[in-house]
Chains A and B, each alone.
Chain A
Amino acid sequence: QVQLQQWGAGLLKPSETLSLTCGVFGGSFTISSSSYWCWIRRAPGKGLEWIGEINYSGGTNYNPSLRSRVTISIDTSTNQFSLKLTSVTAADTAVYYCARVRRGYNLSYSYYYMDVWGKGTTVTVSS
């Protein structure tokens, strides 16, 4: 059964770069072309926010509100994918989650869901 373990720095100063990595254990990292992996965050007092996704070949999609600062990368040799968010501010303080995505089309409708999640990493941005 696939498990996700995530790690990275939990305390940053404003203007620094957030860097988190998610390791995939217990399953095939590249099960099929429908295997995607994403990052999601939840800021204090707010709801879930999708940051972006990456597929096994490195194709990415990002949240338009974060696109200018986000990079998601993948390393299939180590079964890991990573998140970098530049120029962080206090507004980036949140719990960050990595997750496995299942997506595709069925009867002309798109489906997209996250069925396996990491435990979350708390990132605090403070001077």
Chain B
Amino acid sequence: SSGLTQDPTVSVALGQTVRITCQGDSLRSGYASWYQQKPGQAPILVIYAVNNRPAGIPDQFSGSRSGDTASLTITGAQAEDEADYYCASWDSSGNHLLFGGGTKLTVL
């Protein structure tokens, strides 16, 4: 598999909805997971297996998939949602995990 592609930067107005996408061949056979990372902090899981949220993650975060593309949607973006977001999926052909390059989300 050639990897996962994400837009490097995305911006959203405060309170609006934003979609972050992730595209790659591995997503045709593997579910994406999504991670939020703020400066100086460890990543946290926000979505797994397409559209499942871990305990404590607000329902403003949701996920979806179509073909070779996975998406993370943040509804009603808040200032605290400003962070780097990474998608990941298992590459069955190479037996390793792929990360997208990350999307830096700016909340305006």
Contacts and interface: CB of A to CB of B under 8 A. Distances in A.
Interface of A: 38, 40, 42, 47-50, 52-53, 61-64, 97, 102-103, 106, 108-115, 117-120
B48 A113 contact: yes
A80 to B, nearest CB: 18
* Most chain A C-beta atoms within 10 Å of own C-beta, residue among B33, B42, B43, B49: B42
Contact of B31 (A38, A50, A106): A106
Contact of B48 (A53, A102, A118, A120): A102
Nearest to B49: A111
B24 interface: no
The range of chain B's interface size is 20 to 34
A113 B88 contact: yes
B42 A97 contact: yes
Interface in B21-67: 29-31, 33, 35, 37, 42-45, 48-49, 54
Interface string B90-108: 1010111111111000000
Nearest to B92: A110
Given A110-B29, A111-B30, A119-B42, 13 more contacts: A47-B99, A47-B101, A47-B102, A50-B88, A50-B99, A61-B95, A102-B48, A108-B29, A111-B33, A113-B45, A114-B88, A117-B43, A118-B42
Contacts of A117: 42-44
Contact of A48 (B43, B89, B95, B96): B43
